[in-house]
Amino acid sequence: MTTSIKPAAKPSAAPARRGRPAKIGGTRLAVLLMLGPALVAILFFRLVPAFEAIRTSLSDPQGPFAAYDRVFADPAFQASVRQTLLFTVLVNPFQIMLALALAVLLTQRLPLVGLWRTLIFLPAALPQVVSAIIWGVLFRPDGPLNAVLNALGLPHQPFLTSKFQALPGIIILVSWVGVGYWMMFLIAGLKDIPGDTLEAAKIDGAGPLRTFFQVTLPQLKRPLLFVLVADTIANFLVFAPVETLTAGGPDRSTNLIMYDIYERAYVAGDLPAASAETFILLCIILAVVSIQFKLLPSED
């Protein structure tokens, strides 16, 4: 799964659909009608703009690869690659473990479990700007979080004004938003586990922990992989909190790639470089997702 797919997609999609013998009468037609709209949507709403973007990235007045040179030489970009990778490595395991823990917790027979699930999911439904504003207030040096710390006798924290705490702060923010969302999928996955398997484990005398690791977790592989991939991709696209709260700082510590692209495109108006960086981001995402697929064996 690399860039060669994109240019190949358009021409070969057609022959692949039409050129094969029908297994059942009407399969070809069914595939066309069922898959067609989605493919048209991808073509028109994703691939065409993507091609546009690639074309733009190669059309810098200073030469076809000038935009790429500029991007790679830019200290801000270099920082954004570092910080984004760091962010990815930290936020994804954190969110997924938390989501899994919550999913396990909330599939126990507890009173009002539907209410807890809904309330934990709710932050995901807020507009991004709003979550950012709310947390911006919470993280204020004279704000409620520090007030809580003070009440517990802990020292005052700089949070978003410190280049060491800013990225963790963003991680907490996006996790607050996202964990409930991913938890829902894991809950669905947990509920799909057949009761008999668990009963069998119980009969074998397995305690809850062993059951979890040896029975439950393997059954959760597919939903977990799904959540991992989707969450990873979503986290590569984080930028609203950065734009609202930190502008990539302090000291570029929160200069995530998506934000860097956004600035390049919309503030500097440097479209060739922004498009180049988009393409680079896409390659990074594909690479990471491919690695995830390889490391976590699952069908397809």
Q: Could you say which residues in the range 96-155 bind another protein, by CB under 8 A?
A: 102, 105-111, 113-131, 133-144, 146-148, 150-151
Residues 241-270 that bind another protein (CB under 8 A): 245, 247-252, 258, 261-263, 265-270
**Closest CB to another protein among 50 and 86?**
50
Give the residue, chosen from 11, 24, 203, 209, that forms a contact with another protein under the rule CB under 8 A: 24
CB-based contact 136:245 (threshold 8 Å): yes
Is residue 7 part of the contact set for another protein (CB under 8 A)?
no
CB burial of residue 91 (10 Å; 0-12, 13-18, 19+): buried
State the nearest-atom distance from the C-beta of 77 to another protein, in Å: 9
User: 191: closest CA among 234, 220, 167, 155?
Assistant: 220
Contact flags string 174-203 toward another protein, x per CB under 8 A = --x---xx--xx--x-xxxxxxx-x---x-
Tokens 């074998």 identify what position?
Answer: 204
CB-based contact 255:30 (threshold 8 Å): no
Residues 49-78 that bind another protein (CB under 8 A): 49-50, 52-53, 56, 60, 62, 66, 70, 73-76
State the nearest-atom distance from the C-beta of 36 to another protein, in Å: 9
SS3 80: helix
CB-based contact 39:244 (threshold 8 Å): no
State the nearest-atom distance from the C-beta of 46 to another protein, in Å: 5
Residue 174 φ/ψ region, left for φ over 0, alpha for ψ in the -120 to 50 degree band, beta for the rest: alpha
SS3 73: helix
State the nearest-atom distance from the C-beta of 70 to another protein, in Å: 6
